[in-house]
Structure 1
Amino acid sequence: MEKILDVKNLKINFSTFAGQVQAIRDVSFHLNKGETLAIVGESGSGKSVTVRSIMALLANNAHIDGGEIDFKGQDILKMSPREIEKIRGNDISMIFQDPMTSLDPTMPIGKQVAEPLLIHGSMNHANAMARAEEVLKLVGIDNAKNRMKDYPHQFSGGQRQRIVIAIAIVNYPEILLADEPTTALDVTIQAQIIDLMKDLQHKIGTSIIFITHDLGVVAGIADRVAVMYAGKIIEYGTVDEIFYDPKHPYTWGLLNSMPTLDTSSKRLYAIPGTPPNLLDPPAGDAFAPRNPYTMEIDHEAMPPFFKVTDTHYAATWLLHPDAPQVDPPLAIKKRQAEYRELLASGQIGSHKAKEVDQNA
């Protein structure tokens, strides 16, 4: 498949009064044309910082200490502010988590949707407003022509998020960055927004990077998944590989933390412990203090990526040929069975399913 974005060895630090926080530590991944890549992990793992660097939207105290962000043969990190402005909101757009902080409360939504077209000079005012109406209809805003004069407070939360999506796609971008776009919404509206994004991807042919901590959302939208922990990607593969055959204990923990309809315990599972202090990252595997299967080498050396398949890699010493055999917890096997049933029933997955060993 054709790569549209290639991030290589990205390193981002934040200057604080306490010292340098190593927020992103040698992160590499790519995005193929027309696919959805999900980046998952706990809060603070570096997901949003990674994606914001693609749009050059980092905080003032952040500085990039190395790496490349290759977009169509150009390194975004070497572009001037003027060159980035031509890309931002035009070739690459972003959907933020909270629609109320993304929308201007003093401006009618029609003008807000049309604004990217006017800023990038792709249309005159009349044509931009016509496109805005068309895109508002596309994202499911009823009576769009009349509602273009309304203000954000006159819409529901789900409608506001649809408007934010309309602003992001009005220029038909090649890449859409979605930073937890469903977190602030209830479950029913979340499902509607996910369906909308999949439908829009099909209609306008955009590629999506979807940031979330919810693996349940990932199952319904992603083609590939990158799992982040403590500023590093620790496992990546197709969505089926991550759900069917996860290899990193942290991925096991994330899957085990997902509630299901069959969850009977009054207390949900949580990964014990806390992430490391990135002012002084550990020399070995950052997940070692929370890993029930930790070995001595986990505290001494950072694990490399071990190949599981041509598309599936995980950075854990458990995959070393000399490591003891460790099977996923029973709860993970149950989730694999649940995922298999959902996939077979068509309730999830526009992605390509693969045949699975029934003994997995």
Structure 2
Amino acid sequence: MDKLLEVQNLNIQFDIFGTHVQAVRGVDLELNVGETLAVVGESGSGKSVTSKAIMGLNPSPPGKVTAGKILFEGQDLVQYSQKQMQKIRGKEISMIFQDPMTALNPTMKIGKQIMEGLIKHQNMSKAEAKKRAIELLSLVGIPNPDKRVDEYPHQFSGGMRQRVVIAIALACNPKILIADEPTTALDVTIQAQILDLMRDIQKKTGTAIILITHDLGVVANLAQRVAVMYGGKIIETGTIDEIFYQPKHPYTWGLLSSMPKLHAKIDKLLAIPGTPPDLSDPPKGCPFAPRCPYAMKVCLDHMPSYTHISETQKTACWLLDERAPKVDPPKTVGVGGK
């Protein structure tokens, strides 16, 4: 497959009140044309910071890229100025934010908000842009788009507002769509509708998607590949089947074990004990070691390198070292499956 985006050894630091927070530490990611890559992990793992870095949206100061590259079609976006990034945002790479009410301007008609990018990036006239805005509203399933194009965000439900945000993101036919927790603020029924919509749009447009989420149920329904992130690092990557059915990292086991499963006879939901690491003083070894029931001394002292399980799966865990004791995943992993 053709590689569209490549993140290499990305390091991002936030300088806050004299403290250096290492939010992202040596992240490597790849996105191919037309695929969906899910980046999963707990809050604070660095998912959103990584996605915003691709768009050049992390506030600077206090945030800054201290090392690494973000290659989009061979060009390093880290070296781009804000003026250069303005030509990329919306046109080549777009983003769906998790809260549609704050993503939309409450004082502007939604049609005008869709038209802005079309006028700026596609050089359309206002009449052409409005016609395209109506088409986009129809594409994302808004009824009576010719009338609703002149309404304000407060006149739409939460699910409809998220559809409007998707319409704005798709307006200029971007090559990459970053969806940052796109269904978090929505109820389960609307979540399913939004996911179906994104899947349908990808089939029609061929847009590659980076899905940022902590919800593995969302991942199972949309992604082809998964990157598991913890403590500012990517600790495991693989295809959707490899991550759901053959995970190798104890943190991935914990995430899968904590998923509700309809057909499993479990009295209570399982949770990962402990808290994520303090990235103002990042651990020397594996970031998950203090919470890992299988941790060894080497886990605390040294970060493991990747072990390649297959051509598509790699995992950073000392348990995969030939000298480590053999540990099988808990029985709760894979119950109910994908």
Fold conserved between structures, TM > 0.5: yes
Decide whether the 8 Å contact of 2:244 with 2:334 is kept in 1.
Answer: no
Aligned to 1:288: 289
Aligned to 1:99: 100
Aligned equivalents of 2:280, 2:109: Cα separation in 1: 44
1:6 deviates by: 0.5
SS at match of 1:330: coil
Give yes or no for the alignment of 1:118 onto 2:144: no
Aligned equivalents of 2:139, 2:208: Cα separation in 1: 18
SS at match of 2:12: strand
Aligned to 2:4: 4
Aligned equivalents of 2:144, 2:332: Cα separation in 1: 47
Aligned equivalents of 1:200, 1:122: Cα separation in 2: 24
Aligned to 1:346: none
Aligned equivalents of 1:104, 1:151: Cα separation in 2: 9
Structure 1 gap segments, 5+ residues each: 340-360
Query: CA offsets per residue over residues 102-154 of structure 1, 9 Å max, x none?
Result: 11111111111111111224311111111000010000000000111111111
Aligned to 1:300: 301
Query: CA offsets per residue over residues 249-298 of structure 1, 9 Å max, x none?
Result: 00000001111224665642110001111111111111111000111110
Counterpart amino acid of residue 16 in structure 1: I
1:18 deviates by: 4.7
Aligned to 2:333: 332
SS at match of 1:285: coil
Q: Note closer, same or farther for the CA distance 1:333–1:161 as it changes in structure 2 (3 Å cut).
A: closer
Aligned to 1:52: 52
Of all paired residues, the percent bearing the same amino acid is 59
Aligned equivalents of 1:173, 1:78: Cα separation in 2: 21
Aligned to 1:27: 27
Aligned to 1:16: 16
SS at match of 1:106: coil
Decide whether the 8 Å contact of 2:256 with 2:334 is kept in 1.
Answer: no
Aligned to 2:260: 259
Aligned equivalents of 1:121, 1:29: Cα separation in 2: 30
Q: TM-score scaled to structure 2, two decimals?
A: 0.98
Aligned equivalents of 1:85, 1:74: Cα separation in 2: 15
Residue pairs, 1:153-302, within 5 angstroms: 153-262=154-263, 267-302=268-303
Counterpart amino acid of residue 152 in structure 1: P
- Which has the larger displacement, 84-93 or 121-130? 121-130
Counterpart amino acid of residue 46 in structure 1: G
Aligned equivalents of 1:145, 1:73: Cα separation in 2: 40
SS at match of 1:39: strand
Root mean square deviation of aligned Cα: 1.1
Q: TM-score scaled to structure 1, two decimals?
A: 0.92
- Which has the larger displacement, 260-269 or 82-91? 260-269
1:200 deviates by: 0.5
Residue pairs, 1:61-76, within 5 angstroms: 61-76=62-77
Q: Which 4+ stretches in 1 moved above 3 angstroms? A: 262-267
- Which has the larger displacement, 15-24 or 208-217? 15-24
Aligned to 1:315: 316
Decide whether the 8 Å contact of 2:264 with 2:335 is kept in 1.
Answer: no
Aligned to 2:86: 85
Query: CA offsets per residue over residues 195-232 of structure 1, 9 Å max, x none?
Result: 10011011111100000000111001001000000000
Aligned equivalents of 2:265, 2:335: Cα separation in 1: 14
Counterpart amino acid of residue 164 in structure 1: V
- Which has the larger displacement, 110-119 or 63-72? 110-119
Aligned equivalents of 1:138, 1:319: Cα separation in 2: 47
1:54 deviates by: 0.6
Counterpart amino acid of residue 50 in structure 2: T
SS at match of 1:63: strand
1:171 deviates by: 0.5
Aligned equivalents of 1:115, 1:32: Cα separation in 2: 28
Query: CA offsets per residue over residues 326-349 of structure 1, 9 Å max, x none?
Result: 1000111424xx33xxxxxxxxxx
Counterpart amino acid of residue 7 in structure 1: V
Aligned equivalents of 1:161, 1:150: Cα separation in 2: 15
Decide whether the 8 Å contact of 2:122 with 2:172 is kept in 1.
Answer: no
Aligned equivalents of 1:268, 1:334: Cα separation in 2: 13
Aligned equivalents of 1:78, 1:18: Cα separation in 2: 26
Aligned to 1:350: none
SS at match of 2:333: helix
Aligned equivalents of 1:270, 1:83: Cα separation in 2: 44
SS at match of 1:65: strand
